[in-house]
A and B are shown apart, each in its own frame.
Chain A
């Protein structure tokens, strides 16, 4: 569809380019402030003469994609002069062929159509026509009443009788800088980008990342693909919701402001309620509340929502991010692995048409890798596989001093750095990162984590010292975290106490005791499987995004007036992903 609309025959393109140059030249001379002031003046004079530069309503009959679909089968030079169509959208290109013949590109709903404006067909005559059209600028939002047709060269167009400006773009719209890729700003990939395929942000009209993220609306206007990223995000969430609803899960909302920030180990945001004079924490995970609801008898619950962590901003971390957590009574982690496979492979297939996606894992200058979501996913028993891969023989009592020493030595042997505090948990985490996570490009479950690493997971039914937990890794990143929930309140309290020990030895990522939650467990939590997915990270995979900012409409940005930030930002963007990242930031 887009091929037909946007691909332009070469001859015409040349002619247009010339005309465009002319149109651009009259504006290019102005600096942005001058341009802005000119436009403000024009609006003011329109208001003075009693005009309303911002009409209240323009009745739109068809969206632009609907228009394209309806009329794309016309033949060249077909003109349906008896048909009246009303369209509206933003003008992204203006080319004057003569004072009496102008071409515009009208964009809307992710599609575009040409407006061929001929003085002889317009309601405006002579001078009025030229004056009006010289006032219409690139970026303006217009309403068109006209008839459909195709030009000699087969380009679908609308031929206006009435042409109204509905809203004005007061700023000069950024243009693509002339470069080796060819100067015509209309150079666009002719294929519509679909989820799971590779993207090339280097070819975007608006490339500057700062501008793209700070003024997302410009990014959306100028870079057609960006809209598809966010539509993909919306479809991912909608798929998950549908998947869970179908299985009789109930969507619930738990508080984002908590008295204790529990359910994960992370530094929370602190705020204050004035009237109650109450210190509140922004939630870092909904886990404990959701389990309380399962205690209350809601056997299957989920929540899709924001979590907040007061941490640094980088390629995979934003202070607020979106997760889905679900809890399913009477299920264990084996059930959840199957459910995960069904959900994710099903989603990839529905959104991309197949199980294999392309992703620029090694930077945009390298070829994209393929990630295969065909179920079942590989299962890697953490300790067993670590011992095999690294040829280790870790002492069975993982909480002992002996083990700690063994692991310190192991890390030293392989040159794996583990900054203090060197708790057994952290040492294991580094080793697993080095030996196991690195091998997980296609989706793979790392399973059966030690108890000391998993304070909320249930001890393994047959492997002492371990838990029934899995993490799903894709492209070496943690996407899901799930376990058979620990529901023995006595053991839960003990685990919290152990965490406290780690805290005291300096690990501020150890979890705090939540007394309310422990009391809830004492009323009885049924056997339950619990699961969390980082939605931003999953969206990154399906949209070939290497920076989390690509999938957040309004990402948190460092304070603006610091040029050093800009530089470092660019540098990291092009480089490969860091080998290691902090796990805790995805889920639960």
Chain B
């Protein structure tokens, strides 16, 4: 690597690396238009000359070989620091303040004023994200966890040759610790007037200049840390995520719920209908499934005598990726003995509104241009009524499956929708038809928070039959912005009924598998078949036979809630390291 670059080219290159083009994302800060570049390296470590070629002047991305060159130069700087007895990778740094704390404390300091008492001596640390150097003066912008502050570096005020070091050895991207007094510049920028500093960590790679560009969307997720350095608001999403989860915990714990941990690796994956991940335990010599829900184990806790339990944890589903789906995602599931789904509706309202207030301070929020009001109470309407309202069809009238399908298909035809015909035709019951029509026609329209009540029994294998309406269950789903946010029911406690329903589910699943297999034969689809096995969780059924108290339970998709409350378009924006389509090289 050493000595492969022409000094002129190097200088230019560092320029690009160190001062990315300004763009509409907030990468570089105010007042950075006129700056001089730093010298690339001290004479002693200057690489020797080699052939030069023209650089693309407006490249938005540093090419690999350039990165390697910069890396080599910076490794030289590390060596140089060491040769001077300085450490390029310090052990620790005592901070007195975070940047934002200083901004607050000295809010009233006037332009041009200094605060130079003993008590105004501060020590801060963070990453250098911008720099301007003049003859005997340099301005650096330092960013830490809390925000940014300017470092005002005057040659006279710095010890011995520190100013030289600042110019020759410090690059944008380095992590610095600095001490000094406080002043506000004439231009109004609060600054630490640096008397001494040390390089805490030397960065070897240049910060990228543009990470919100379309071409880099994959890289943003893949190298989340770079995304966060380049776009501080990205980190805010994760701060809010933490706050939301913390608020959910507070809400349920103040209601007396206790947190438990149930297994991720299971002998049978139950509690939902989804393709599980399969793994193999060597010493047990046994296939294990990754959980697709926490439901069946949490219900065992109710059998065991815990009356209010919850678990916030990771769920795994072996399904495709989308803006709403990641193979692993986080949910809260909660179960409360001696209550029914009515009380879970109140709990859902409580959880969502408290989370919204915690991160946004208000209940009117904007989601991707749609104004959403989370003011309580939220609309509560049955699925039958919502479908009737949207289509004019009252599915409660139908006893006969064929008749129900005919009407549904007619309605779709009238709307010019031919795509979803097959999904209606595949429905094995009136309940399925109703649910299908609901999903196609009503769901996307449920923008404001709505509880959809009383799902058909056929699509709700773990919910208790409705106490008044045959064929329905005491179940609700919460929709906001056309998306399912929560799913809850009065839990089915009758072990015989439960066994029948699960057996029925297994039968239906097998039937579907069989038809897929025959389809596969016809189509000769390449790759994995879509079939997977569903097994009865006998242990769960046995637990029910010991008696589970009447109870209600609810699951909330935390990633989707975070998306809603942080106005994020994709689930990838709220998961720090999402799974991506193209494998990493």
A residues sitting closer than 8 Å to B (CB atoms) are 36, 40, 43, 53-60, 63, 88, 90, 107-110, 139-141, 143, 166-171, 173, 214-221, 227, 230-231, 233-234, 237-238, 245, 250-257, 259, 267, 269-278, 280, 282, 289, 292-293, 295-300, 305-306, 308, 310-313, 319-320, 322, 329-332, 334-335, 458, 461, 468, 484, 487-490, 516, 519-520, 522-527, 529, 552-554, 556, 558-559
Contact = CB atoms under 8 A, between A and B. Distances in A.
Contacts of A227: 304-306
B305 A107 contact: yes
Nearest to B228: A296
B447 to A, nearest CB: 28
Nearest to A59: B338
B276 to A, nearest CB: 9
B89 A527 contact: yes
Interface in B229-286: 229, 232, 235, 238-239, 241-242, 245-246, 253, 258-265, 275, 277-286
Contacts of B264: 256, 306, 308, 320
A524 B174 contact: yes
B328 A256 contact: yes
B242 A251 contact: yes
A90 B284 CA distance: 36
25 contacts: A57-B339, A57-B550, A59-B338, A90-B305, A169-B545, A214-B539, A215-B539, A215-B542, A215-B543, A217-B303, A219-B304, A220-B306, A234-B259, A253-B330, A254-B576, A256-B328, A267-B282, A295-B229, A319-B284, A320-B263, A330-B94, A332-B92, A468-B91, A525-B201, A554-B263
B258 A524 contact: no
B225 interface: yes
B304 A526 contact: no
Contacts of A140: 547
Contacts of B446: none
Contact of A527 (B201, B227, B263): B201
B173 A55 contact: no
Interface string B324-366: 0001101000000111100000000000000000000000000
A51 B471 CA distance: 18
Interface in B283-336: 283-286, 288, 290, 297, 300-301, 303-307, 313-314, 316, 318-321, 327-328, 330
Contact of B305 (A220, A490, A520): A220
Given A63-B307, A298-B145, 14 more contacts: A57-B338, A60-B338, A139-B546, A167-B493, A173-B546, A245-B246, A254-B577, A269-B281, A273-B318, A280-B277, A293-B238, A330-B177, A487-B89, A527-B200
B550 A56 contact: yes
B102 to A, nearest CB: 15
B5 interface: no
Nearest to B320: A275
Contact of B547 (A170, A331, A552): A170
A159 B253 CA distance: 32
B547 A139 contact: yes
A524 B201 contact: yes
B340 A88 contact: no
Q: How large is the interface on B (under 10, 10 to 19, 20 to 34, 35 or more residues)?
A: 35 or more
Contacts of B133: none
B464 interface: yes
A319 B205 contact: no
B144 interface: yes
A274 B340 contact: no
Contact of A277 (B227, B258, B316, B528): B528
Contacts of A88: 337-338, 549
Contact of A461 (B91, B201, B320): B91
A332 to B, nearest CB: 4
A523 B303 contact: no
Interface in B16-68: none
Contact of A171 (B93, B494, B546): B546
Contacts of B283: 310-313
Contacts of B490: 56-57
Given A88-B549, A524-B201, A330 B301 contact: no
Contact of A289 (B229, B253, B528, B577): B577
A43 B498 CA distance: 14
A221 B225 CA distance: 48
Contact of B290 (A110, A233, A271, A331): A271
Interface in B561-585: 575-577, 579, 581, 583-584
B245 A251 contact: yes
Given A108-B307, A109-B307, A250-B239, A332 B75 contact: no
B34 to A, nearest CB: 26
A259 B584 contact: yes
Interface of B: 71, 75, 78, 88-95, 125, 127, 143-145, 173-175, 177, 200-205, 207, 222-229, 232, 235, 238-239, 241-242, 245-246, 253, 258-265, 275, 277-286, 288, 290, 297, 300-301, 303-307, 313-314, 316, 318-321, 327-328, 330, 337-340, 464, 467, 474, 490, 493-496, 527-528, 539, 542-543, 545-550, 575-577, 579, 581, 583-584
A63 B339 CA distance: 13
Nearest to A524: B203
Contacts of A280: 277
A298 B474 CA distance: 44
Contacts of A63: 307
Which 8 A-B residue pairs are closest in the complex by CB-CB distance? A220-B304, A296-B228, A296-B225, A524-B203, A217-B304, A299-B145, A332-B92, A217-B303
A107 B328 CA distance: 38
A194 to B, nearest CB: 17
B466 to A, nearest CB: 9
Contacts of B495: 170
Contacts of B225: 292-293, 295-297, 520, 523
Among B75, B127, B464, the one with the most A-chain Cβ atoms within 10 Å of its Cβ is B127
Contacts of B177: 330
A215 to B, nearest CB: 7
Given A522-B204, A527-B92, A272 B546 contact: no
Contact of B232 (A108, A110, A271, A297): A297
B493 A300 contact: no
Given A57-B340, A523-B173, A272 B238 contact: no
Given A253-B576, A330-B125, A519-B205, A308 B265 contact: yes
A237 B259 contact: yes
Contacts of A274: 275, 318, 527-528
Contact of B494 (A54, A169, A231): A54
A305 B245 CA distance: 14
Contacts of B300: 216-217, 554
B307 A296 contact: no
A406 B275 CA distance: 55
Contacts of A221: 303-305, 546
B284 A256 contact: no
Contacts of A141: 547-549
A527 B174 contact: no
Given A109-B307, A169-B547, A43 B496 contact: yes
Given A170-B545, A468-B91, A553 B262 contact: yes
Residue from B89, B545, B579 with most neighbouring chain A CB atoms (10 Å)? B89
B96 to A, nearest CB: 11
Given A40-B496, A170-B547, A297-B235, A231 B258 contact: yes
A175 B227 CA distance: 61
Contacts of B95: 330
Contact of B579 (A173, A273, A527): A273
Nearest to B199: A524
Contacts of A60: 338
Contacts of B548: 141, 167
A488 B3 CA distance: 23
A167 B550 contact: yes
Contacts of B301: 217, 220, 553
A250 B550 contact: no
